[in-house]
Structure 1
Amino acid sequence: MAKTLISYEELANAAGTDLGYSEYREVTQEQVNIFADATDDHQWIHTDPEKAKEGPFGGPIAHGYLTLSLQIAFWTELFDVTGVSTKVNYGLEKVRFPSPVPVGAKIRMKAAIAEVTEVPGGYQIAVDQVVEVQDAPKPAVVSRGLYRFYA
């Protein structure tokens, strides 16, 4: 799906806009290890593939927060606002991790703009975001992202 581009002037009326799906991307062991180093979270279910084979998931899984962090990369594939001076990732609401992401799995995100609120100097949008694991019955991450755009 093509990236949705909206001008700053159109943003006020963007609630309900379906942004579609990002492309799939594979989660690699190298990526998981780098994230473990960055966050000092070296739990064996993420970083020890041999031991993880005997664990509850049958192999290593990505950190939930790594999967959550990838929403930024997916987000930039799906949406942009033109005519703004500043774009801010304002936060998250209602974050859940319903299903693990096995290392080697492919994930993608679907998103829709749920709300648009005027804030001093700009607009805040609330985006319902779901990260899916290819061929899995449940999503890996369900969240509502908050983003601000200033003229």
Structure 2
Amino acid sequence: MKLGDPAASLVVDRAGELTAHVGNEIGISGWAALEEADVLGFAELTGDRHWIHTDPDRARAEVGLDGLLAHGFLVLSLITALGGQCYTVRRARRWTNYGLERLRFTAPVFPGDEFRLRLTLDDAAPEPAGTTRLDLGCLLERRNHDRPALVATWIVLVEEA
């Protein structure tokens, strides 16, 4: 995978400072792209060797695709790296992926397609034990396409030092 430089990034010292940004876009990652080797490697790693992800000739012939289709879960897994380009909490000691809500794979991603993450802060709420829960709206847009590759709400718990 090739990751580009971030287009915009929000930096705060403490997670509580993010409450001022609730309802706003907090960052845009740089453009990224998957290579065919990434898709094939993910197929081997996960055991999801469906021909639509591993046999470009069959994908073209039987479905009319341009080649291999990237796994939705592969595309989803990139959110963490791309999200790290969108915002930073300097005093964060630990981040925990708490889950996802309303995840939808809305358009295909093929090797060579460029995409980037647009991240909005839907909510920021203090939790017990000094953590802050962030509800992050994720839109993975594709260059030169109207429909995003995925949309989701990503829930992250931030523990500060």
- Category of TM-score, reference length = shorter chain: over 0.9
Matched pairs, number: 151
Query: Match for residue 73 of structure 1?
Result: 81
- Cα deviation for residue 26 of structure 1 reads 1.4
Alpha-carbon contact 1:27-1:107 (below 8 Å) kept:
no
AA of the residue aligned to 1:19: I
Stretch moving more, 48-57 or 125-134:
48-57
For 2:28 and 2:60, the matched residues in 1 are separated by 31
- Cα deviation for residue 87 of structure 1 reads 1.6
- Cα deviation for residue 3 of structure 1 reads 2.1
Stretch moving more, 112-121 or 83-92:
83-92
Query: Match for residue 51 of structure 1?
Result: 58
5 Å matches for 1:22-101? 22-56=29-63, 57-101=65-109
Query: Match for residue 2 of structure 1?
Result: 8
For 1:25 and 1:11, the matched residues in 2 are separated by 26
1:122 to 118, 123, 131: 131
For 1:37 and 1:97, the matched residues in 2 are separated by 21
Q: What secondary structure sits across from 1:34 in the alignment?
A: helix
RMSD between aligned alpha carbons?
Answer: 1.4
Query: Match for residue 109 of structure 1?
Result: 117
Percent of aligned pairs with the same amino acid: 30
- Cα deviation for residue 2 of structure 1 reads 3.3
For 1:113 and 1:11, the matched residues in 2 are separated by 8
Stretch moving more, 58-67 or 6-15:
6-15
- Cα deviation for residue 58 of structure 1 reads 3.5
- Cα deviation for residue 11 of structure 1 reads 3.1
Q: Structure 1: any 5+ residue segments left out of the alignment?
A: none
- 2:152 is the counterpart of 1:143: yes
- Cα deviation for residue 122 of structure 1 reads 1.5
